[in-house]
Amino acid sequence: MPQLTPRGILFDCDGVLVDSLESAGAAWDIWSAEWAPHFSFARDGIHGRRAADTIAELVAADSVAVAEHQLERLEIDHTEGTREIPGAVALTSSIPNSQWTVVTSGTRELAKSRLRTAGITPPASFVAAEDVTHGKPDPEPYRRGAELLGLDPADCIVFEDAPAGIAAARAAGIGYVVGVGIDSAPGEPDVIVQDLRSVSWNDGVLDVTPL
């Protein structure tokens, strides 16, 4: 059972702290019926990627801003089905605020709404889609996350569920990557946990029970 002593912890949001698949799917289905009838979120969605990057491939360039805004409002309106990933509330509540943050491909307003709906208090500041020029799998989001904590990426641990996010963490020079859920396996994280009930924080040490 790994015992880790990170100076900072960077959590992805969807699939790591919150389960938003059902609520996001409902919003995307409504959106795609108008904007991209050929697109199926369940079939074509790439987890860990910014919605803006997907939308840019589906609609005309002069319609991207309007399409993005509509999808974000739909997703916020459908957050009621969002739940915590088991163990997320307990884990984030036990870590000092100065040592953890969120690095998400979602927008700030949407991420805060999902976190609060799931019972998780959002950190004071975090990295959201609008904070970066390039989203995951580019390293920029996780580099920004480490900077936000005033740390070198090598001194941080990332919790990710998506191969795109794991690739971003690796490229950013993150010291250790914990994959959440078996779907993280293709990204080759350092260890995989079933959910966050397998992780605890005790006096600066993360105890991790792998699958």
Do 111 and 97 share a structural domain?
Answer: yes
The catalytic residue positions are 12, 14
pLDDT tens digits along 90-133: 999 999 999 999 999 999 999 999 999 999 999 989 999 999 99
Contacting residues for 6 by C-beta, under 8 A, at least 6 apart: 99, 155, 156, 157, 175, 176, 206
Q: What is the pLDDT of residue 52?
A: 87
Q: What is the pLDDT of residue 2?
A: 84
Q: What is the pLDDT of residue 73?
A: 93
State the total domains in the chain. Answer: 2
Q: What is the pLDDT of residue 114?
A: 95
Give yes or no for a contact between 161 and 17, defined as CB atoms under 8 angstroms apart. no
Query: Would the pTM of this model clear 0.85, i.e. be above it?
Result: yes
Do 126 and 184 share a structural domain?
Answer: yes
Do 66 and 10 share a structural domain?
Answer: no
Type of residue numbered 96: P
What band does 86 get if pLDDT is binned at 50, 70 and 90? very high
In which residue are the tokens 């840019």 written? 56
Q: What is the pLDDT of residue 133?
A: 96
Do 152 and 194 share a structural domain?
Answer: yes
Instruction: Mark which of 80, 101, 119 sits at the end of a domain.
Output: 80
Do 123 and 134 share a structural domain?
Answer: yes
Q: What is the pLDDT of residue 45?
A: 80
For the record, the structure tokens of 106 come out as 């979602």
Q: What is the pLDDT of residue 95?
A: 97
Do 181 and 111 share a structural domain?
Answer: yes
Do 107 and 53 share a structural domain?
Answer: no
| Distance from C-alpha of 160 to C-alpha of 172, rounded to nearest angstrom | 14
Residue 207: count other Cβ atoms within 10 Å of its Cβ.
Answer: 13
Do 133 and 37 share a structural domain?
Answer: no
Look up the CATH number of the domain holding residue 119.
3.40.50.1000
Do 145 and 65 share a structural domain?
Answer: no
Instruction: Report percent pLDDT > 90 for the chain.
Output: 85
The H-or-E segment that residue 207 falls in is: strand 205-208
Instruction: Specify the higher pLDDT residue, 99 or 22.
Output: 99
Q: What is the pLDDT of residue 48?
A: 76
Pairing of strands 100-102, 8-11: parallel
pLDDT tens digits along 26-85: 888 999 999 999 999 888 887 778 888 999 999 999 999 999 999 999 999 988 889 999
Do 201 and 169 share a structural domain?
Answer: yes
Do 61 and 139 share a structural domain?
Answer: no
